[in-house]
A and B are shown apart, each in its own frame.
Chain A
Amino acid sequence: MDFLSLHTNSFKNGIHPPENKEDTRGLPIRQFPFATELIIPMTQHIGAPAEITVREGQEVSRGQVIAKAAGYVSVPIHSPISGMVEKIGLVPTISGSKAQGVTIKAFPSSGQEVAEGYCIDYKTATADEILQAIQDAGIVGLGGAAFPTHVKLKVPEGKVCDYLIINGIECEPYLTTDHRVMLEQGDDIYMGIRYLMKVTGAKEVIIGIEGNKQDAADHLTKMKPDDIPVSVKVVPVKYPQGSEKMLITAVLGKEVPSGGLPIDVNIVTVNIATTAEMGRLLPHGRGIQERVITISGPAVKKKGNYLIPIGTPLRFVLDHVGIVDDIAEIYMGGPMMGPAVADLDISITKGTSGILVFGSKDVVHTDNIYPCIKCGACVDACPISLNPSKLGILAKFESYDRMVSDFNLMDCFECGSCSYVCPSHIPLVQYFRLSKSRYKRKQALNQH
């Protein structure tokens, strides 16, 4: 009865920020040089920080495990470089707090060969063996969330996965990493999908791509292998389509229940770069040592898509690409959801999908906040039909309980569409982040 449904290959509301992808979308992925010193924090993923298994002064080779997973929701970390462990101690991270980390000094003369590991064949391995291999490879969601992929792929008892959706949306402005990965790593993507099908038991695979990457969609359609039931679906450009929930609605017209996961509607979604990484690493038993990152923004001289070793210090990256003199702000990830950088000594992690540098004249922030004029722009923008206007007013009065119970605050996934459209420049999504954490803290206090 498909023809009777009103499904329009899209989702409700959303926004259309300027894409700004022209500068880098046509530039092939290039290998970034190795820094002399890599700083590798142990908190690169959501979950328990990895446990360091090397000691100061130890020599490590590229691809060797330097920290093991500390539990189920955790992944190991592999050395991105051959060198010597110079220091183990606290290192700065993007969140502003410090975390345990390993500093490795590179051997300048090393050929940086990667050790070959134990091959996992998708034809013979069982689902659990593949899941274990995914964890061992240190794979996390490369879209930015950095959630351990093996946890996400585990289909719980009693649930069935019908559809596997590969997320090639990349709706954040400026970013073109997924675009390049789709154009250049098609074989890896399809190999990754084979593993994913085995793990999830999915009967059908859909690659979701936004209309501004038609060339990538055509490319993937052309090289589609015959042995897997995969289709490429192009959906109209709209932010935040890259969000799991919006993607599922756009592609299949289903809604993930509030507080639930995609598997509740028999769907598993995986980021396209993560899929390619899986297809590249698992046949060789290797771990993640590098990732593709878009370096862009008005203040960058050599914009591009680079394959950068994990742990490369941001300072080194910026020196290499060159930046204009009056830089003001640097963002890790996209401009809609990426955090601003406070410290140039932080380094590239598995979750870094972009580095954007803005000069002082490019920054559009204003300190001038007007009162809410109830224009309803945020209501028309919110992809999950919340009322950000009312939530913002309640946040000012610190009525966190009402925000949660009456206005579904916890369903907000902080896409920033409301703040983007607000003519009064009210930092709505920041209010909501704060309100959520205050609410959680209050709940925790009440339980004691």
Chain B
Amino acid sequence: MRKITLNISTSPHVIIGLSTETIMKHVVYALLPAAAFGVYAFGWNALLVMMTTSVGAILTEHFLCKWSDKPSTVGDYSALLAGLLLGMTLPPIFPLWMAFLGSVITIALGKFIFGGLGNNVFNPALVGRAFLQAAFPVAITTWLQPFLPERFYSVSSSIYAWPFMRPTVDAVSGATPLSAFKFDNISTDAYDMAMGICSGSVGETSTLFIILGGIYLAWRKMMNWRIPVSIILTVFAFSAVFYMIDGKVYPSPFFTIFSGGLMLGAIFMATDMVSYPITSAGVWLYGAIIGLLTVVIRLWGGLPEGVMYAILLGNAISPHIDNLVRPRVYGTTKKLKVS
């Protein structure tokens, strides 16, 4: 009889066929349409910003792994994802050296310092952005008008600003719908915002493509759809209350959900698996808290946008949310410890 070599392995012998690497890869794919729209709307500026942050994040991850004598983990796509996400939250004419610095912070302080993939407390891209917001308040609120005719012929000079030099703004700057409303009380049409006909960060303007990307991920079961649903419903409901109280002072709920980085944050940032609660009930609560905080910051805060801080705060309390809504173990009356 012929010789047979058998492998032995532990059950289960079938698996669902998803891997962490695949998930990360598909999240990147899902972001590409919105990123491509950003390039279409803002020209080469946007492409340069996103490429800088992506390359910066990958390089940082690679060298940090090398310096700590670990095998490089850039192959799992999580560094690329964090870098791309950071780039998509920055203005299109953001100086590249600042963007690069932001991507270094994203990986080093957002992820690596906690122990790498799976251990970060906060969404790494938002840690990077929070740093940039604190360090360069002017640059990060200097916006570019969309669809400028020269956007594919020239690149804004502020992009090439030397490190630690004040960038010279030559581009036609435009206010985002949120800042226009906050500082000048000008409302932008919700349809324009959904289609991306407005100023804003590189990847946040095309709400339509962001939602399509989210639907794709939810369909592939690579994203927890409960989080964006919970955030968007809360934001809508909470802002509707104030709109009904005084429609002149407060924005309409449609404006609120389609403006700024809400969709990008709800669909791609708050759903960073590592930093949201692990229980299904906790996830609903997490989304609701982020939604409430977003509206509070937007309506009464000094900044026009509140999604970033709302998500970071949500990340911070997610272990506590897990402890609050604990599932009951089958056949017991005991509430399971979660962390």
Contacts and interface: CB of A to CB of B under 8 A. Distances in A.
B332 A408 contact: yes
B171 interface: no
B119 interface: yes
Nearest to B223: A375
Interface in B298-339: 327-332, 334, 336-339
A340 B278 contact: no
A373 B12 contact: no
Contacts of A358: 13
A342 B17 contact: no
Interface in A331-351: 331, 335-344
Contacts of B4: 327, 344
A370 B19 contact: yes
Given A257-B331, A335-B11, A330 B119 contact: no
Given A329-B9, A341-B8, A390-B338, A258 B14 contact: no
Q: Contact residue range for chain B?
A: 35 or more
- Majority DSSP secondary structure for residues of B touching A: loop
Contact of B13 (A315, A329, A384, A424): A329
B331 A245 contact: yes
A121 B7 CA distance: 48
B6 A342 contact: yes
A370 B20 CA distance: 7
B15 A420 contact: yes
Contacts of B11: 331, 335-340, 416, 419, 429
A376 B327 CA distance: 13
A258 B332 contact: yes
A255 B328 CA distance: 12
Contact of B9 (A245, A340, A424): A340
Given A328-B7, A340-B9, A374-B273, A335 B14 contact: yes
A304 interface: no
B280 interface: yes
B118 interface: yes
A380 interface: yes
B278 A379 contact: yes
A34 B276 CA distance: 58
Given A373-B273, A375-B273, A386 B329 contact: yes
Contacts of A390: 278, 337-339
A124 interface: no
A371 interface: yes
Contacts of A368: 19, 21
A384 B329 contact: yes
Interface stretch (A56-64, A69-77, A266-274, A359-367): A359-367
A329 B8 contact: yes
Interface string A413-448: 000100111111101011001000000000000000
Contact of A260 (B6, B18, B118, B331): B331
A221 to B, nearest CB: 30
Nearest to B336: A387
A340 B7 contact: yes
Interface of B: 1, 4, 6-23, 76, 116-119, 224, 273-280, 283, 327-332, 334, 336-339
Interface of A: 12, 15, 17-18, 173, 245, 249, 255-260, 315, 319, 327-331, 335-344, 356, 358, 363-366, 368, 370-376, 379-380, 383-387, 389-390, 406-408, 411, 416, 419-425, 427, 429-430, 433
